[in-house]
């Protein structure tokens, strides 16, 4: 079989699905892995494996079976110590085994940013029980934000206004933790003007930045994003400087989603993902090269343009309302009537607030694009047949 690269994709959600499309356009052979069959990326990949990424023995067996050129994590819940061992044995982990280990847990990446690199962050402490949560909240003050050190798409996150809300926030964080560590980060609530994702590409030619992406969250999960978002040159410069410092420290090649809070000219580091970011779905229509194209190019050692530009565009998520294993969709024609585009992720099951698709729109400015995308997302109806 002829291919340009063999890629083992660890995690096969909607971001992995778009990455598979980009990688296969460049001639790659992709094996998609996830804990369940018929995951979105598996529907398009050349081959697939079903197993939990936290099963270290199975993870090693799959890597040794397929002998990929690149091991590409798409999710955080992975037995990262096995990736480190595999990297030492000569396999290429994207962007690096150290990056996957550092970013799998919010505590490691926050300590790196704040303590080793000196980046501007909010006040924070960690806690592994309710008593420690109460003590941490006294350090940060109220309001504060409590979230698991390891979770997916912002799940388990609560903004707490007073001491009476700490126990419920702790319980919610524990219920939504991933991995095998019961630990939360309690951090100062930042009264920011807006928050951004700065997609940062580290490649063999250096580091390249996409225009900043604004986004809005609910329940700790993104609801809409838009690009470009207005920022002063000074604020953009601060964000780019911090992003470059941390991705250079983590090493390797690939796309990183670096999140910041912005208050006036002050830029505060929040989080980092060493892979395409959910808010970056907007790049499917805003940029000639999407975040997935850029990730694939960087991984495979292909050129990245020096200047990446974005037309005004927006994305808005399509959410499920309940559990179901028998789904269909209606209203797509109406949703697309005003020029919006849709991506339906084809997930085999739904649950409350699960992201099932996204509406995308371009316009003369981002506010108009946001309006079109939100209206389109609202017109898509998920039909539950069970």
Q: Which of 106, 202, 355, 374 is catalytic?
A: 355
pLDDT value of position 153: 58
- Cα(85)–Cα(342) distance, integer angstroms: 40
Fold of 312-386: D-amino Acid Aminotransferase; Chain A, domain 1 (3.30.470)
pLDDT value of position 179: 64
Q: Do the Cβ atoms of 282 and 326 come closer than 8 Å? A: no
Fold of 123-188: Dna Ligase; domain 1 (3.30.1490)
pLDDT value of position 366: 98
pLDDT value of position 313: 98
- Cα(212)–Cα(230) distance, integer angstroms: 8
User: Any catalytic annotation for residue 154?
Assistant: yes
Q: What is the pLDDT along the chain (386 residues), one digit of tens a residue?
A: 799 999 999 999 999 999 999 999 999 999 999 999 999 999 999 999 999 999 999 999 999 999 999 999 999 889 999 999 999 999 999 999 999 998 877 788 999 999 999 999 999 999 999 999 999 999 999 999 999 987 665 678 899 999 999 999 999 999 988 766 789 999 999 999 999 999 999 999 999 999 999 999 888 789 999 999 999 999 999 999 999 999 999 999 999 999 999 999 999 999 999 999 999 999 999 999 999 999 999 999 999 999 999 999 999 999 999 999 999 999 999 999 999 999 999 999 999 999 999 999 999 999 999 999 999 999 999 999 99
Q: Do the Cβ atoms of 80 and 101 come closer than 8 Å? A: yes
Q: Which of 100, 225, 270, 279 is catalytic?
A: 279
pLDDT value of position 154: 64
Q: Which of 49, 278, 291, 293 is catalytic?
A: 278
Phi, psi of 150 (to 5 degrees): -140, 120
Pinpoint the alpha helices (H) of the chain.
Answer: 14-25, 56-66, 80-88, 97-104, 106-111, 130-140, 166-175, 233-250, 283-286, 291-299, 332-336, 366-379
Burial of 372 (0-12, 13-18, 19+ CB in 10 A): buried
* β-strand pairing of 6-10 with 29-34: parallel
Q: Which of 74, 271, 291, 293 is catalytic?
A: 271
Do you know the residue count of the chain? 386
Residue written as token pair 């991995």:
179
- Cα(196)–Cα(260) distance, integer angstroms: 5
User: Any catalytic annotation for residue 12?
Assistant: no
Q: Which of 248, 242, 246, 257 is nearest to 200 (CA)?
A: 257
Q: Which of 259, 293, 354, 362 is catalytic?
A: 259
Q: Which of 69, 107, 154, 266 is catalytic?
A: 154
Q: Do the Cβ atoms of 22 and 296 come closer than 8 Å? A: yes
Category of 121 on φ-ψ map: left (φ > 0), alpha (ψ -120 to 50) or beta: beta
- Cα(271)–Cα(305) distance, integer angstroms: 25
| The two three-digit tokens of residue 91, written as one number | 């396999």
What percent of the residues of the chain are helix, what percent strand, and what percent coil, each to the nearest 5? 35, 30, 35
Question: Computed over its alpha carbons, how large is the radius of gyration of the chain?
Answer: 20
User: Any catalytic annotation for residue 328?
Assistant: no
- For 6-93, CATH gives 3.40.50.20
Domain boundaries along the sequence of the chain:
6-93, 123-188, 191-311, 312-386
pLDDT value of position 149: 86
Question: Cα–Cα distances in Å, from 289 out to 190, 195, 277?
Answer: 33, 23, 15
User: Any catalytic annotation for residue 152?
Assistant: yes
Mention every residue, 6+ apart, whose C-beta is less than 8 A from residue 46.
Answer: 24, 29, 30, 31
CATH: 3.30.470.20, 3.90.1300.10, 3.30.479.10, 1.10.287.370. Which one for 191-311? 3.30.470.20
Q: Examine domains 123-188 and 312-386 and report if their fold is the same.
A: no
pLDDT value of position 104: 79
User: Any catalytic annotation for residue 271?
Assistant: yes
Q: Which of 152, 159, 216, 266 is catalytic?
A: 152
pLDDT value of position 67: 98
Question: Cα–Cα distances in Å, from 320 out to 348, 356, 375?
Answer: 12, 6, 16
Phi, psi of 353 (to 5 degrees): 70, 10
Q: Do the Cβ atoms of 329 and 379 come closer than 8 Å? A: no
């Amino acid at each position: 079989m002829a291919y340009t690269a063999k890629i083992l994709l660890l995690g096969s959600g909607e971001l992995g699905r778009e990455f598979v499309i980009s990688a296969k356009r460049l001639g790659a052979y992709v094996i998609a892995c996830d804990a369940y069959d018929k995951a979105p990326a598996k529907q398009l990949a050349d081959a697939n494996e079903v197993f939990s990424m936290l099963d270290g023995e199975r993870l090693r067996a799959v890597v040794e079976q397929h002998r990929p050129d690149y091991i590409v994590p798409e999710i955080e819940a992975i037995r990262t110590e096995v990736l480190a061992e595999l990297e030492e044995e000569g396999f290429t982990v994207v962007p690096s085994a150290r990056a996957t280990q550092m970013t799998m847990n919010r505590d490691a990446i926050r300590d790196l940013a704040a303590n080793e690199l000196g980046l501007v962050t909010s006040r924070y402490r960690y806690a592994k029980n309710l008593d420690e949560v109460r003590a941490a909240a006294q350090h940060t003050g109220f309001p504060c934000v409590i979230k698991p050190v390891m979770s997916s798409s912002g799940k388990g996150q609560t903004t707490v206004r007073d001491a009476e809300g700490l126990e419920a926030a702790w319980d919610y964080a524990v219920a939504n933790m991933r991995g095998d560590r019961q630990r939360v980060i309690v951090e100062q609530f930042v009264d920011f003007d807006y928050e951004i994702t700065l997609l940062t590409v580290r490649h063999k030619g250096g580091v390249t930045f996409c225009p900043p992406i604004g986004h809005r969250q609910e329940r700790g999960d993104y609801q809409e994003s838009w690009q470009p978002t207005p920022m002063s040159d000074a604020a953009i410069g601060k964000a780019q400087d911090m992003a470059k410092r941390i991705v250079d420290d983590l090493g390797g090649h690939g796309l990183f989603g670096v999140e910041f809070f912005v208050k006036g000219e002050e830029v505060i580091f929040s989080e980092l993902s060493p892979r395409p970011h959910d808010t970056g779905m907007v790049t499917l229509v805003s940029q000639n090269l999407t975040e997935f194209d850029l990730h694939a190019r960087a991984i495979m050692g292909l050129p990245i343009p020096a200047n990446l530009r974005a037309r005004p565009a927006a994305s808005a998520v399509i959410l499920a309302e309940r559990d179901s294993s028998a789904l269909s969709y209606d209203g797509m024609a109406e949703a697309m009537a005003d020029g919006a585009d849709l991506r339906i992720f084809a997930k085999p099951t739904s649950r409350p607030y699960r992201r099932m698709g996204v509406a995308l729109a371009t316009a003369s400015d981002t506010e108009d694009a946001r309006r079109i995308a939100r209206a389109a997302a609202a017109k898509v109806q998920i039909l539950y047949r069970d």
